[in-house]
Structure 1
Amino acid sequence: MLFKGIGHFFLDLRIFIWDAWLTLLNVVLPRLPSRARGIDSEDGSLWPEYVPPKEGDSRCSCPALNALANHGILPHDGKNVKFTEITDKVHETFNFAVTFATYVSRNGADTLGKDYNKDTCNLSDLDKHNGIEHDASLLRQDAYFSKSQGQPHIPYIEELLALASSTDSNDKKVLTVADLSKFSSKRRADSRRENPQFQLDDTHKIFGSANSSTLLAIFGGKVDDLEIFLKEERIPERWESTARSRKGLTFIAFNPTTFKVEHGIDEKPYEKEEGKKGEKA
């Protein structure tokens, strides 16, 4: 165990040094041209055909991985998926840096006690509670209330998107860091109050804020695209990642958004709001 721990430490160190190098390269290299990262299907469209999951297909709490399976970028049944394949397809489709995609996929393998380089998983395996899946998700009910995390909880998604407080150059609604912090605050307060088995340690708090930050980093917070992506777990037609750095979105470039979202989370207003409701009743 000690050897494995030391080995993981040096592997993580190598990834973060590599990430720093990619971040520097992104400063000097030109940004990606439009459509450069698209995965073309046979008919020439930007993404392979979307096919909803059928009964027996494996899905998880991550809309990005589910979307990859729904488009056949990962195996459509979501079964026997190589961890290394997850890394490659997440990088190619969403333009996360290879370092970012590798670290997250390897963390999933470690959570399941599997070998990242050799083993496979079903997508639903990734929903081991308090592994990657956690309470107070913005898109799913807590595991206490819903044993299957493969389906998005539409009321949460609609509530989140309704909070969009900004607009883009085309006057289309856009989510902001403050919007994500606000909804995260409410979800944590609600979950803490309603879920008798509620757990959310500091690691999962940061992980939750990182997950929500991808809605800004990869989708630019655009509500029209997010509504399709989050509700249907489908990549919008002709969509491209808003992360256009040549070497992809690195940890160093991404983490400031995560910390801003987490720093802005404050459950107290929602605790007081619930208290006032109780007093009126």
Structure 2
Amino acid sequence: MFILYKVVHDLAFFTWDAGVTVVNLLTPSKDEGHIVPEGHPGFGGTWPEYIPPKEGDSRCSCPALNALANHGILPRDGKNIQFKEMGRVIRTTYNFSATFCYFVPHYAAEMLGKDYGKDTIDLQEIDLHNGIEHDASLVREDAALSPDQSKPHVKYITELLASASGKDENGNAVLTAQDLSKFSAKRRADARELNKDFTLDFFHKVFGSTNASTMLVAFGGRVKDLETWLLEERFPDGWETKIKSRLGMTFAKFNTTIAKVELGIDEKKYLEEKKKAT
């Protein structure tokens, strides 16, 4: 019965996502300054006060969720968060679609053996190894090397941002999909060498590229904004998501960026270039 439920559930979900994608194609995008709905935190680029986490607060390996807690959009202590509430604020803040904002918290609830509709989560619980958290992250050390996944790994983030090869229309440095693919290849190859317990199956490779792609779709790859978001886990003053779709970023649309990043990852090429350099 559970397998039948999963098949019906997933079929219904992806049909829903496809429908939202079609509506986005047929309707005008949101206007800048009005992507976050009026009355919600971040409307017009005005964000609630940023307060770094204090001792005892719950944080995780996800900058997107930590930033929400640091601004008080999610509970500041990062605890007892309803799965539905998590999805709701991801939607209003980052403008991901209702489908995306249902699927990710629902998956987290299933991963933890919790009831999506009734139970709550502390942010730290998301870091169940090889659930959503995975090895070769672009912004965290592997869990085997650094069990506390709540803090950004400054060296990796600094190196990632320094690798930006693009420019936007105003001449600002931006990360490209190719930059993320190259850095992902480096992280995966180096992690295999450094971490004797390294694992990274296909699902978590795609999850890693999904996380990386958020930097492109929500931030446009803009280095200055990503520096604040990744290192401080704070929204820059005046920032708003670059996702302008009327009903938000769907899986169907997001997958085009994810595939570009993942298919561009070439560990073998990275290792060959590393060998030549030495």
Band of TM-score, shorter chain: over 0.9
Shift in Å, 1:12: 1.9
Moved more, 41-50 or 205-214: 41-50
Q: Distance in 2 between matches of 1:34 and 1:42?
A: 12
Shift in Å, 1:37: 3.6
Return 5+ residue gaps in structure 2 as ranges. none
Secondary structure in structure 2 of the residue aligned to 1:18 = helix
Whether the 8 Å CA contact 2:40–2:92 is kept in 1: the answer is no
Superposed CA deviations along residues 19-72 of structure 1, whole A, max 9, x for unmatched, are: 111111111111112232436559996211111100000000000000000000
Secondary structure in structure 1 of the residue aligned to 2:213 = helix
Q: Distance in 1 between matches of 2:9 and 2:86?
A: 19
- RMSD between aligned alpha carbons? 1.7
% same residue: 54
Q: Distance in 2 between matches of 1:253 and 1:275?
A: 37
Whether the 8 Å CA contact 1:40–1:47 is kept in 2: the answer is no
Q: Distance in 2 between matches of 1:43 and 1:163?
A: 32
Moved more, 30-39 or 91-100: 30-39
Secondary structure in structure 1 of the residue aligned to 2:157 = helix
Q: Count residues in correspondence.
A: 276
Secondary structure in structure 1 of the residue aligned to 2:113 = coil
Shift in Å, 1:217: 0.7
Shift in Å, 1:95: 0.2
Q: Distance in 1 between matches of 2:45 and 2:208?
A: 33
Aligned to 2:153: 153
Distance change >3 Å, CA 134–CA 169, structure 1 → 2: same
TM-score by length of 1: 0.94
Q: Distance in 2 between matches of 1:83 and 1:41?
A: 19
Distance change >3 Å, CA 43–CA 158, structure 1 → 2: closer
Alignment of 1:76-225 (within 5 A): 76-225=76-225
Aligned to 2:63: 63
Aligned to 2:20: 22
Q: Distance in 1 between matches of 2:53 and 2:35?
A: 25
Distance change >3 Å, CA 66–CA 4, structure 1 → 2: same
Structure 2 letter corresponding to 1:34: E
Whether the 8 Å CA contact 2:41–2:93 is kept in 1: the answer is no
Superposed CA deviations along residues 115-169 of structure 1, whole A, max 9, x for unmatched, are: 1111101000000000000000000000011011000101100100011101001
Secondary structure in structure 2 of the residue aligned to 1:10 = helix
